[in-house]
């Protein structure tokens, strides 16, 4: 599995401080089944969210997205619900690392939140480091450090380590 | 030699913060500067039920054995004892993994505790170490002068396989706290004030250090509460310099030889310094639905509550239980209130029984449970219904954290929880 670095999708907008309790509630943490988690994604904000999302949609949020717990079920739930990428002004650190580690693209793009509305179609270019608005305007995003791009290109931390391990055995 | 250079760092180099010193040592380099990406070799990896989610990725990586089972600690804390078969299977998988991997410091149900409390009270965390835990409140262990940060399941698998992880050396915020607090006011009230000041992302990606006379005077149990809730500032780590209090704590925990004094150099570089005067400050509470939405207790006193919870890694140590018992001794909680008291570890539970605290809680009408994270994250053993109001000694009150997204959670100190349970409304513990 490799991660696409050019993503186009429909926007779902969220504000500041969307916590992991918003993204996937504690009552579902007994499950590690992505499908179950995906069905309850964002339930504490919008109980209908998982039903409305289409494959490839993009979340655009303001600051501190994913604050709170270290639960990896949060990015797993979003991906399983169909979300292809989260673009936020800033992320909470563990959510950010968890996302990259499972090969789920997340990118910081301060200012984008004010420039898009729900339902817009935007394009995210992870490698070039920008987001393209419906009118064609390009908003620069924070460039991903080389080590993070490397993990994403490999499809996540597990495939990356696996490949490295296999390389040392040859 | 510069006397401030207590450990790490060379006299011919610019000063380093605690985080920089520890990450330099952990990455086997002479210096670590903010922004640099280093591979940190882990001194301690501790895990709870999240280990169950790490087993599959660990196996997928293709490594057969954990890099160093003697550097791993595992306990069960989120759902203890298991409330259903799904969790029982999860515990079973963890148990079998620990046995197969030779992880001797596996603390099973009965010998368990909330992992952050368990690792400090057993003397597993030491100043100067790189400590990684698979939970966001791993920051708590930083109170012992360690660099302690939380990670998720996939990365836990990676650390088990390789013994290291990449870390961006963080910038450091210095939080200096001065002054003498009012009666029945402590570290929980201070950290809520700090979170209000910085915001709940004010320390995002950063390390936080605590200095000042108020901090210096705090015993270890209070320092744990401070470091614990640096998570609610968005911090990567939250550290208190190691000193005589640290030394005494380590000695009591059976890790006397692990003591070393550690502080930032006097010429270390901080990205920001906060000077916070708490002289005469009374109890604070975080109001729904954000830990940074903090008010003095006087502003919300009289708000009717349905549940009071004294528990979690943040505030359920023996000193916290003693504080609550001081208020509840010989009294009864309000008839419409459920008070749930859940010690942070089984060691604390046993001590509470021995000291007669359990008896005080039970006679006051409380439910006294064995140790678990349970109610704090809305898991089990005290979940909130819609519209219910709770005062809790825990760390977060985002919507749905403790059950229904329509429930209202206030965060406060053990004193505030006990006083409010007694009167059935949010109550200033100085008047209880």
- Name the one residue in this structure whose structure tokens are 């994604």: A41
Label the pairing between strands B164-168 and B130-133. unpaired
Q: What is the ipTM of this complex?
A: 0.93
The fraction of chain B above a pLDDT of 70, given in percent, is 97
Residue B390 contacts residue B409 (beta carbons within 8 Å)? yes
- pLDDT of residue A170 exceeding 70: no
Considering chain B, what is the average pLDDT of its residues? 96
Q: Pairing relation of β-strands B284-286 and B294-296?
A: antiparallel
Whether chain B has a CB inside 8 Å of the CB on A119: the answer is no
What percentage of chain B exceeds 90 in pLDDT? 96
Q: Would the pLDDT of B7 be above 70?
A: no
Identify the pLDDT of residue B202: 95
Domains of chain B: 14-281 (3.30.499.10), 284-431 (3.30.499.10)
d(C-alpha B131, C-alpha B128), whole Å? 9
Q: Is B41 helix (H, G, I), strand (E, B) or coil?
A: strand
Q: Does A67 touch chain B (CB under 8 A)?
A: yes
pLDDT of residue B203 exceeding 70: yes
What is the pLDDT at residue A21?
94
pLDDT of residue A41 exceeding 50, the answer is yes
Which residues of chain A have a CB within 8 Å of the CB of B67?
A: none
Task: Say if the Cβ atoms of A64 and B401 lie within 8 Å.
Answer: no
Mean pLDDT of B141-155: 97
Shortest distance between the Cα of A109 and any Cα of chain B, in A, equals 16
**Confidence (pLDDT) at B430:** 98
Query: Could you say which of A27, A30, A98 has the minimum Cβ distance to residue B154?
Result: A98
Nearest CA in chain A to B50: A71
- Asked if residue B9 has pLDDT above 70, the reply is no
Position B4 pLDDT exceeds 60: no
- Helices A157-169 and B51-61, axial angle in degrees (round to 10): 40
Beta strands in A29-164 (DSSP E): 58-61, 85-88, 106-108, 121-125, 130-132, 138-140
**Mean pLDDT, residues A10-21:** 96
Mutate to test the interface with B, among A40, A76, A94, A152 (most CBs of B within 10 A): A94
- Nearest Cα residue in chain A from B157: A158
Which of B377, B199, B23 has its CA nearest to residue A92? B199
Pick from B114, B115, B116, B136 the residue to mutate for testing the A interface (most A CBs within 10 Å).
B136
* Chain B residues touching residue A158 (CB < 8 angstroms): 57, 60-61, 154, 157-158
Number of H helices, E strands in chain A: 8, 7
Of B63, B204, B377, the CB nearest to A64: B204
**H or E element: which one contains B284?**
strand B284-286
What integer pLDDT is reported at residue B8 of this predicted model?
56
Nearest-angstrom CA–CA distance, B93 and B286? 38
> Chain A window 141-170: which residues touch B at a Cβ cutoff of 8 Å?
145, 147, 156-158, 161-162, 165-166
Question: CB of A1 within 8 Å of any CB in chain B?
Answer: no
In the A/B pair of chains, how many CB contacts fall below 8 A?
Answer: 127
DSSP B102: T
Query: Strands B207-211, B408-411: parallel, antiparallel or unpaired by DSSP?
Result: unpaired
Contact A29 B63 (CB under 8 A): no
CB-closest option in A19, A30, A145 to B37: A145
**Model confidence pLDDT, tens digit, residues B99-124:** 999 999 999 999 999 999 999 999 99
Would you kindly state where each structural domain of chain A is located, as residue ranges?
6-169
The predicted pLDDT at position A30 comes to 86
Quick check: B378 and A161 CB within 8 A? Answer: no
Confidence of residue A4 (pLDDT cuts 50, 70, 90): confident
Backbone torsions φ then ψ of A81, nearest 5 degrees: -75, -15
Please judge whether A68 and B136 are an interchain contact, meaning their C-beta atoms are less than 8 angstroms apart: yes
Half-sphere exposure of B427 (CA within 13 A, CB side): 20
Q: To the nearest whole angstrom, how far is the Cα of A68 from the nearest Cα of chain B?
A: 7
pLDDT for B311: 98
Q: Is pLDDT above 90 for B394?
A: yes
pLDDT tier at A118, thresholds 50, 70, 90: very high
Q: Going along A16-77, which residue ranges are E strands?
A: 58-61
Phi, psi dihedral angles at B67 (to 5 degrees):
-55, -40
Residues 6+ apart with CB under 8 A from B115: B46, B47, B48, B73, B75, B77, B133, B135, B313
Question: Would you say residue B413 has pLDDT above 70?
Answer: yes
pLDDT at B12: 65
From first CA to last CA, the distance across chain A in angstroms is: 22
Judge whether A8 is closer than 8 Å to chain B, CB to CB: no
Give the pLDDT mean for B249-255: 98
Q: Name the pTM for this structure.
A: 0.95
Name the class of domain A6-169.
alpha beta
Long-range contacts made by residues B156-159, C-beta under 8 angstroms, separation at least 24?
A: B156/B45, B156/B47, B156/B50, B156/B51, B156/B54, B157/A158, B157/B54, B157/B55, B157/B56, B157/B57, B157/B58, B157/B60, B157/B61, B158/A101, B158/A157, B158/A158, B158/A161, B158/B57, B158/B61, B159/B42, B159/B45, B159/B67, B159/B132
pLDDT of B330 over the 70 cut: yes
Contact A67 B205 (CB under 8 A): no
Q: For residue B158, give the nearest of A44, A72, A157 by CB distance.
A: A157
Task: Say yes or no for a CB contact (<8 Å) between A64 and B378.
Answer: no
Residues in chain B with CB shorter than 8 Å from the CB of A45 are 399
Alpha-carbon distance values, B98 to B47, B74, B80, B93, B115 (Å): 11, 8, 17, 9, 15
Torsion sign across C-alpha atoms A4, A72, B129, B221:
positive
């Amino acid at each position: 599995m490799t991660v696409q670095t050019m993503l186009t999708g429909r926007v779902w907008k969220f504000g500041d401080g969307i916590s992991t309790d918003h993204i996937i509630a504690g009552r579902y943490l007994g499950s590690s089944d992505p499908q179950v988690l995906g069905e309850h994604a964002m339930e504490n904000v919008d109980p209908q969210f998982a039903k409305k999302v289409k494959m490839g949609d993009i979340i655009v949020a303001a600051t501190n997205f994913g604050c709170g717990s270290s639960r990896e079920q949060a990015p797993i739930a979003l991906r399983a619900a169909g979300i292809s990428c989260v673009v936020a002004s800033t992320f909470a650190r563990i959510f950010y690392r968890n996302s990259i580690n499972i090969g789920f693209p997340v990118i910081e793009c301060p200012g984008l939140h004010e420039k898009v509305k729900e339902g817009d179609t935007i394009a995210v270019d992870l490698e070039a480091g920008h987001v393209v608005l419906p009118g064609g305007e390009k908003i620069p995003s924070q460039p991903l450090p080389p080590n993070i791009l490397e993990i994403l290109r490999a499809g996540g931390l597990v495939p990356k380590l696996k490949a490295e391990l296999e390389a040392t055995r040859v | 030699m510069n006397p401030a250079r207590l450990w790490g760092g060379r006299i011919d180099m610019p000063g380093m913060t605690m985080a920089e010193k520890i990450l330099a040592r952990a990455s086997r380099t002479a210096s670590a500067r903010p922004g640099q990406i280093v591979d940190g070799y882990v001194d301690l990896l501790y895990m709870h039920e999240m280990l169950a989610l790490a087993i599959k990725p660990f196996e997928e990586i293709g490594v057969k054995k954990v890099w160093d089972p003697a550097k791993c600690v595992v306990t069960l804390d989120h759902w203890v004892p298991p409330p259903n078969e799904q969790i029982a299977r999860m515990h079973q998988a963890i148990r079998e993994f620990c046995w197969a991997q030779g992880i001797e410091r596996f603390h099973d149900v009965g010998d368990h505790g909330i992992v952050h409390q368990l690792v400090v009270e057993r003397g597993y965390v030491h100043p100067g170490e790189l400590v990684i835990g698979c939970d966001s409140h791993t920051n708590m262990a930083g109170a012992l002068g360690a660099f302690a940060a939380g990670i998720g399941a996939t990365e836990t698998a990676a650390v088990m396989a390789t013994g290291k992880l990449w870390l961006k050396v963080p910038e450091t915020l210095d939080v200096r706290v001065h002054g003498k607090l009012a009666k029945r006011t402590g570290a929980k009230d201070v950290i809520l004030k700090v979170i209000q000041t910085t915001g709940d992302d004010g320390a995002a990606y950063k390390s936080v250090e605590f200095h000042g006379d108020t901090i210096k005077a705090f015993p270890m149990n209070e320092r744990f509460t401070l470091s614990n809730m640096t998570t609610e500032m968005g911090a990567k780590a939250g550290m208190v310099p190691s000193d005589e209090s640290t030394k005494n704590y380590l000695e009591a925990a059976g890790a006397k030889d692990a003591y070393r004094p550690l502080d930032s150099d006097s010429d270390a570089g901080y990205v920001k310094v906060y000077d916070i005067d708490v002289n005469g400050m009374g109890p604070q509470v975080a109001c729904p639905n954000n830990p940074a939405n903090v008010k003095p207790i006087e502003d919300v006193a009289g708000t009717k509550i349905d549940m009071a919870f004294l528990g979690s890694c943040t505030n359920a140590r023996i000193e916290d239980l003693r504080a609550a018992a001081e208020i509840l001794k010989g009294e009864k909680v309000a008839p419409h209130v459920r008070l749930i008291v859940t010690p942070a570890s089984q060691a604390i539970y046993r001590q509470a029984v021995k000291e007669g605290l359990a008896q005080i809680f039970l006679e006051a009408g409380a439910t006294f449970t064995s140790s678990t994270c349970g109610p704090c994250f809305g898991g089990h053993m005290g979940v909130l219904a819609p519209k219910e109001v709770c005062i809790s000694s825990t760390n977060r009150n985002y919507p749905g954290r403790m059950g229904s997204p329509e429930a209202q959670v206030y965060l406060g100190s053990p004193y505030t929880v006990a006083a409010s349970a007694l009167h059935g409304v949010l109550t200033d513990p100085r008047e209880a």
